[in-house]
Chain A
Amino acid sequence: MGEFSKPFDAIVVGAGPSGNAAAYVMAKEGLNVLQIERGEYAGSKNVQGAILYADALEKIIPNFREEAPLERHVIEQRMWMMDEKSHSGMHYRSDDFNEEKPNRYTILRAQFDKWFSSKVKEAGALVLYETTVTELVKDLSGKVIGVRTDRQGAPIMANVVVLAEGVNGLVGQRSGLRNEVSPDSVALAVKEMHFLPRETVEARFNLSGNEGVVIEAMGTITRGMTGTGFLYTNEESISVGIGCIVSDFAESNIGPNELLEAFKNHPSIKPLLAGSECKEYAAHLIPEGGYKAIPQLTGAGWIVVGDAGQFVNAVHREGSNLAMTTGRIAAETVVSLTRKREDMTAANLAEYEKRLGQSFVMKDLKKYKGIPDLLHKNKGNFFGTYPKLISQAMQTWFRVDGIDKISKEKAIFRNFRETRTVWGMMGDAFRLVRAWR
């Protein structure tokens, strides 16, 4: 293969947020980087709500705001607890979020990823599209030394392979580096893009300029399954979606599309979408197993970043920021080893895990390590009983009907007690607090 026989410093598998972050940082530092993406372009296969948390990207491309395709900066967060006809909400809106360098943005991934990929190329990485890495090539000692693709030709060699291949981790699986993703540690989310004129979006959500609103919802909308719904305002569209743990879908026999249709027709959501035109729909898996589901992250000649490493904080709906951060930290580890002319051995690459442990990524995932199990085991209560009880309590409290307030309070407590028992509620509260700590 002539000029291609010299191994690359690094091959990055995948061009999502983690892969782009890794490839960008390594190329920027002068490494000879090859990135391989199966989609026709970066973003063509990627799906997310999507919210971009500025901090993680800022640490990679400080002036990204000047050129990245961003939709709206989020100034208002609404958290809704929903039952069939109502929602009880906590809204937080602050003019502080109208800052010079906003903290969160809504984005359209197809456009954003294309831009990020162009930055990777500008930084000097070689990017192949429409090429699928099929397996890793190992030497006799088992060290990963390159990749094979679905294109004809010799394998491509590299000192290290960064697996940014996404939630399913197929290359890692095929190469015996990890197990198949378990159905109870991934969620299946479906979403639609609804187009509305800019002015309508702004009037409907009380926004001006590029301000945006995010709604996160839970409750009976997932019919007792562990999951959440969401609605994000983009510049001229609204992203609306819902997702639940895959094993719950399998158990309930309810299709995700059925949930989405019901969610869109919920009396609290329907008017927000009225008159819009659905122009795009997508589905994707989200790793939600948290800390306990994280697979082996490094080995001789390989390193795992992003969704492939299950780096999603389901409680705070954070994912792409963890992806970019793990991509960046992996890249920094590889860069420092390359500079020191050290081999990409398992022991040397373990430095990545050490650095991750010191970052918010591992600290947060560790903090919530009990939450996925807790919610999943008590899904009937958290996604059915409690939302209903809260809604009923709100209704009793706000409805003025000549009944005195003391009786109302008693009725509310009786309702909670009878439905869930004092011990049950105390147990749930105790478990939730323990898992949260």
Chain B
Amino acid sequence: MHIVVCIKQVPDSAQIRVHPVTNTIMRQGVPTIINPYDLFALEEALRLKDRFDATVTVLTMGPPTAADSLRKALTFGADRAVLLTDRYFAGSDTLATSFALSMALKKVAEEFGKPEIIFTGKQTIDGDTAQVGPGIAKRLDYNQLTYIARIVETDLQTGTIKVERRAEGGLQVLETKLPVLITMLEASNEMRRGSIENALIAARAEVVTWNAASVGIEDLTKCGLRGSPTIVKKVFAPTARSEKAAIVAAEGSVNAKAVALVEAIFEKTPAVEQELLEQAAHHYV
């Protein structure tokens, strides 16, 4: 059994600051970490490795320094690390990223065997879109199971997997056929501490490094900034609200209190009143 875990090296968002004047993210000196959600994906893969003697490949796309994150994944017990790096990938949005990763995954399948399961974290902490996982599944024509809290059962004989998925309004129990792409929820497990042998292997390991050409990408317009229709319109640091909550004093019936409340809101923010009046006028036309 072959499992691939897609991870991303991200800046430690707890230590990021936004430049007060230029409003750009100050990355200088901010340490990088493995996207925390991806660690749940990696641990889940390692558990399957323990049970089924599977091979675990970790894959990332990023600058050459992302090799540090891959090496770290190896110290946890992954068997192989693949880095997809090319300056043509710079500025990729989720569409371009899932394209590039799916091409790399095809090459992984050719070189190291087709993965039965591809894991990702539910989302990254720097982009927060949760789109890359599903994007890969769609391109590779894998079944997809997103926001998975627990793997209930994996049956290699029948090639099925049963999971618990957290959804609005409750927990879904889903079963599907392999191959599958699974995005893992936070707190679904706890990352192990790799053994001394894992650490030694990781320190010695060579990271397999591929570029756009080596994974068979010919159309570079699908890559990086050019292949990314998403435009970042504005970056800003939310400012703390200067206004405090207020208690509106009102007597009488519920209706009277509601009227007093609405009047207080309108008084404070006439724009809201204006907008509501316009909407109402439009509605009754």
Contact = CB atoms under 8 A, between A and B. Distances in A.
Interface of A: 1, 4, 34, 40, 126-128, 130-131, 149, 151-154, 156
B199 A4 contact: no
Interface residues of B, number: 12
Nearest to B199: A128
A278 B75 CA distance: 35
B197 A131 contact: no
A149 B203 contact: no
Given A40-B31, A151-B198, A152-B195, 7 more contacts: A4-B197, A126-B200, A126-B204, A128-B203, A130-B75, A151-B194, A151-B199
Contacts of B197: 1, 4, 153
Contact of B200 (A128, A130, A152): A128
A29 B194 CA distance: 31
Max count, chain A CB within 10 A of own CB: residue among B193, B196, B203, B204: B196
A149 B198 CA distance: 13
A154 B195 CA distance: 9
B49 to A, nearest CB: 16
A151 B193 contact: yes
B194 A127 contact: no
Interface string B29-41: 0010000000000
Contacts of A153: 195-197
Interface in B183-241: 193-200, 203-204
Contacts of B198: 151
A126 B195 contact: no
Contacts of B193: 151-152
Contacts of A154: 196
Contacts of B195: 151-153
Contacts of A156: 196, 200
> Taking chain B's interface residues, is the majority helix, strand, or loop, or is none over half, making it mixed?
helix
A151 B196 contact: yes
Max count, chain A CB within 10 A of own CB: residue among B31, B194, B200, B204: B200
A282 B197 CA distance: 33
A153 B198 CA distance: 9
A123 to B, nearest CB: 14
Contacts of B75: 130
B18 to A, nearest CB: 14
A230 B194 CA distance: 42
A127 B193 CA distance: 17
Nearest to B33: A40
8 A-B pairs with the lowest CB-CB distances in the bound complex, closest first: A153-B196, A151-B196, A153-B195, A152-B195, A126-B203, A128-B199, A153-B197, A149-B196
A1 B75 CA distance: 16
19 contacts: A1-B197, A4-B197, A4-B200, A40-B31, A126-B200, A127-B203, A128-B199, A130-B75, A131-B196, A131-B199, A149-B196, A151-B194, A151-B195, A151-B199, A152-B193, A152-B196, A153-B196, A154-B196, A156-B200
Contacts of A34: 200
B220 to A, nearest CB: 32
Contacts of A149: 196
A149 B196 CA distance: 8
Nearest to B17: A279
Contacts of B31: 40
Nearest to B204: A126
Contacts of A126: 200, 203-204
A128 B204 CA distance: 10
